[in-house]
């Protein structure tokens, strides 16, 4: 009898413990879900303000006042001010919880460098597309007589010719010189034989002529070297003046100290050895 009683008491005690544990679990369950809204901030939400286009200091102040954390990255847009906010994530108007991190893209204070593209020989339209892709601006466009009508002849940065590959700041302004076709002005071929290299180049430039110059020996002072032959010559075989148009090309030979025979009759046999060609 005693054994049966003990067994019954143990079963009753076990059932009571199980029921107590189950009751505690139910109570904790309801307490947890009752507090879940407070734990997760349910219902405590805020709309992301629009700070794109504002300066960084003002945008940061607005976000911090609203309880947001901030993380900043940078990019460069030459059309916008330094430290202007270019973008934000999450986007404007999204509903988020306070304390959410807002990622900002801010315009750099100094533009990054970009290599100057090679625009020579391209049409103006193609040149503009390449400038835009390199984040460079088109400046002035000027024209000079040249057979390559509409093509880029020179690319200028700060008024000077810039070579392809040279590193310059994004947002820089590049001016272009374009070919205007052969001019309508026809004139006598200028006689540059006997002039210095510098004088000859100045005369050809004044007449809007291109040139190819060949140095037939080592030159110690290019500007003072003497032109001793040109093609075409000023006069033809009949003694009449040869004629050129603006944008045409003239070639000439020059050396440091040509002989009188060379000036009168051009290069002598064996007179051209190591030569250097110069083009405008």
Residue 251, Cβ density class (10 Å: 0-12 exposed, 13-18 middle, ≥19 buried): middle
The CB-based long-range contact list for 35-44 (8 Å cut-off, 24+ gap) reads 41/97, 41/98, 44/97, 44/98
Q: Has this prediction a pTM greater than 0.85?
A: no
Task: Quote the tokens at residue 15.
Answer: 């059932």
* Domain match, 193 and 160 both: no
* Domain match, 122 and 98 both: no
For residues 82 and 74, is the Cβ–Cβ distance under 8 A? no
User: What CATH number is attached to the domain comprising 207?
Assistant: 3.30.10.20
CA 98 remoteness from chain centre? 40
Angstrom distance (rounded) from CA 159 to CA 279: 20
* Domain match, 194 and 262 both: yes
Which of residues 80, 107, 134 is at a domain's end? 107
* Domain match, 35 and 50 both: no
Look at the chain and report how many structural domains it folds into. Answer: 4
Report angle CA 100, 105, 111 to the nearest 5 degrees: 160
* Domain match, 197 and 161 both: no
Angstrom distance (rounded) from CA 32 to CA 40: 11
Give the model confidence (pLDDT) of 170-182 as tens digits: 989 999 999 888 7
* Domain match, 192 and 257 both: yes
* Domain match, 191 and 274 both: yes
Residues linked to residue 105 through DSSP beta bridges, in sequence order: 73, 87
Which of the residue ranges 51-60, 88-97, 179-188, 221-230 would you say has the lowest mean pLDDT?
179-188
Which of residues 85, 107, 129 is at a domain's end? 107
* Domain match, 14 and 72 both: no
Q: Write b or e for each residue in 35-68: b if 16 or more Cβ atoms lie within 10 A of its Cβ, otherwise e.
A: eeeeeeeeeeeeebbebeebebeebbeebeeeeb
Residue-level pLDDT at 41? 47
Structural domain boundaries enclosing 17: 1-43
pLDDT at 245 over 80: yes
Residue-level pLDDT at 148? 84
* Domain match, 191 and 273 both: yes
Give the model confidence (pLDDT) of 31-53 as tens digits: 655 554 555 445 568 889 999 99
pLDDT at 225 over 60: yes
* Domain match, 192 and 263 both: yes
Phi and psi based region of residue 151 (left: phi greater than 0; alpha: psi -120 to 50; beta: remaining): beta
* Domain match, 133 and 152 both: yes
* Domain match, 102 and 119 both: no
User: SS3 of 130, please?
Assistant: helix
Angstrom distance (rounded) from CA 12 to CA 18: 10
């Amino acid at each position: 009898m005693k054994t049966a009683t003990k067994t019954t008491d143990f079963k009753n005690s076990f059932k009571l413990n199980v029921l107590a544990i189950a009751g505690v679990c139910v109570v904790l369950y309801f307490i947890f879900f009752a507090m879940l809204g407070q734990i997760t901030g349910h219902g405590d939400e805020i709309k992301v303000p629009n700070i794109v286009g504002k300066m960084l200091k003002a945008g940061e102040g607005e976000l911090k006042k609203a309880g947001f954390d901030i993380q900043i990255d940078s990019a460069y847009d030459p059309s916008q001010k330094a430290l202007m906010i270019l973008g934000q994530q999450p986007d404007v108007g999204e509903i988020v919880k306070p304390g959410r991190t807002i990622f900002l893209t801010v315009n750099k204070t100094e533009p990054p460098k970009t290599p100057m593209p090679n625009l020579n020989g391209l049409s103006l339209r193609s040149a503009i597309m390449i400038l835009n892709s390199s984040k460079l601006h088109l400046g002035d466009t000027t024209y000079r007589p040249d057979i390559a009508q509409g093509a880029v002849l020179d690319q200028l940065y700060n008024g000077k010719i810039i070579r392809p590959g040279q590193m310059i700041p994004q947002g820089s302004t590049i001016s272009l010189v374009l070919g205007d076709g052969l001019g309508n002005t026809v004139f006598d071929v200028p006689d540059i034989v006997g002039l210095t290299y510098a004088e000859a180049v100045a005369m050809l430039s004044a007449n809007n002529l291109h040139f190819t110059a060949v140095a037939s020996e080592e030159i110690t002072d290019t500007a003072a070297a003497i032109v001793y032959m040109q093609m075409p010559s000023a006069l033809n075989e009949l003694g009449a003046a040869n004629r050129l148009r603006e944008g045409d090309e003239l070639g000439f030979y020059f050396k440091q100290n040509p002989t009188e025979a060379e000036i009168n009759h051009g290069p002598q046999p064996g007179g051209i050895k190591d030569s250097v060609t110069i083009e405008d």
